[in-house]
Structure 1
């Protein structure tokens, strides 16, 4: 199951900032701001498609871009892509962002919904993360250590949404890995929230609104399962432990970016401010955007 290498918001902003810092010596087409301008943005309020699978409502003050553009953004940040990325959503403040990625593993049965033992799951995740630290060491990244649940696993039988959030630390810095899995007929929409841990509580109302306004299209909904459809080879518990293991291996960029941020934070803050200002200009009408019809 392909996984996005999750980057904290700091990493996202920093990568864009570093590009902007270097912009003076590079052609304009190579700068992060130039990349942002070239992408097709939908500004809220509007409806946006996640290809033919689902749709979301883009709130006012937010921007969205589709599958191809999402991969371009992630690759510009030095983040390998899997081809399963479908969308990127963020407020213009860049306080947080969401990446939508679809895993076509088949219909995931929720038979184990009443057997999600948070204590056992956390123990498994901790063990897997410590093993993954061996790979992080080879990558030159600092170890990542799980400290507990921020939000224990919870499954909503009505919406077929699975959510959990894990607290961790790397080199003394707090990390939150917040995950939502939206079950569909043919697979799972993986919604990865990337945020500074200190801003999580503030962002949750807006994030929950985004999830509430998400919907699978006709024929793709969980309730529309037909006998003979492809079945996933695992259940809800494996979505949690498998997702956490992948994140533990793939967040190696976090620690190195934290160190770089410490060394040049004043310059970086100025450059990040330029990126945020560009997003705000996008919202206030500085550039026309492509909007999907209501």
Structure 2
């Protein structure tokens, strides 16, 4: 169901927090992963209160939702690596298989003017390095590697929406296309990180 999707590790360059394991013993086989997924509290098309940011998450019919530890567990089951600190929700589109993760980060009011300048080349190099390093853990847990190709959309500031946006192009071990489109939404109490995950064709269809 969800096992074809992975989330690229984004660590260091953007200082987005260290990992925190939700699974005491991560599954290493498809059978164990299926059991872990079935044990979660899935919600369907509901209006939910996010546990960390206090925001509201609305989803139409056909979208499945997870909150808190359950969202972190899905991240770990499908990625083979620890979920980032602050993972507070996940939405799964049952029609096309795309996923969105929600992560609460930081505290206090963050102005767009406070955001540091971003070096796209250095950021991409660090993402590639961390992704390749995480591939060793994925292999140990029976999950294929991910390789970052480059930017589909380099990092940019969206002043109107007080956000930072970027999109990464990657491939899975079997050659399947993988896209991560990230939005950091700055607010009065830290910021929210949203990561959309799908294929390149699906991403192109949204443009």
TM-score after normalising by structure 2 = 0.66
With over 3 angstroms needed to count, the CA separation of the structure-2 counterparts of 1:171 and 1:89, relative to structure 1, is: closer
- Between the aligned partners of 1:170 and 1:76, the Cα distance in structure 2 is 16
- Tell whether 2:153 aligns with 1:123: no
Partner residue in 2 for 1:47: 47
TM-fit CA distance, 1:136:
5.5
Name the one with the larger strand percent.
2
| C-alpha RMSD of matched pairs (Å) | 3.7
1:197/1:103 Cα in 2 relative to 1: closer, same or farther (>3 Å)?
same
Which residue of the partner structure matches residue 274 of structure 1? none
**Structure-2 change in CA distance of 1:61 and 1:2 (3 Å):** same
CA distance in 1, matches of 2:100, 2:155: 19
- Choose from 147, 152, 155 the match for 2:154: 152
> Which residue of structure 1 lines up, in the alignment, with residue 17 of structure 2?
2
Q: After superposition, where does 1:108-257 map in structure 2 within 5 Å?
A: 108-111=110-113, 121-129=119-127, 131-132=129-130, 135=133, 144-147=147-150, 149-168=151-170, 173=175, 174-202=177-205, 204=206
Name the count of aligned residue pairs.
178
Pick closer, same or farther for the CA change 1:176–1:116 going to 2, 3 Å. farther
Unaligned runs of 5+ residues in structure 2 are 1-15, 21-26
Alignment of 1:16-95 (within 5 A): 19=30, 22=31, 32=34, 34-44=35-45, 46-51=46-51, 53-77=54-78, 78-93=80-95, 95=97
From the superposition, tell whether residues 125 and 110 of structure 1 become closer, same or farther in structure 2 (CA, over 3 Å): same
1:39 deviation in Å? 2.5
Residues 178 and 197 of structure 2 are in contact (CA less than 8 Å); yes or no, is this contact kept in structure 1?
no
Q: Distance in 2 between matches of 1:69 and 1:83?
A: 13
* CA deviation map 1:194-236 (0-9, x unaligned): 212232123x38xxxxxxxxxxxxxxxxxxxxxxxxxxxxxxx
Give 1 or 2: higher helix fraction: 1
Separation of aligned partners in 1, 2:38 and 2:183: 29
Residue segments in structure 1 that go unaligned for 5+ positions in a row:
6-15, 23-29, 206-294
The change in CA–CA distance for 1:163 and 1:31 in structure 2 (over 3 A counts) is: closer
CA distance in 1, matches of 2:76, 2:148: 27
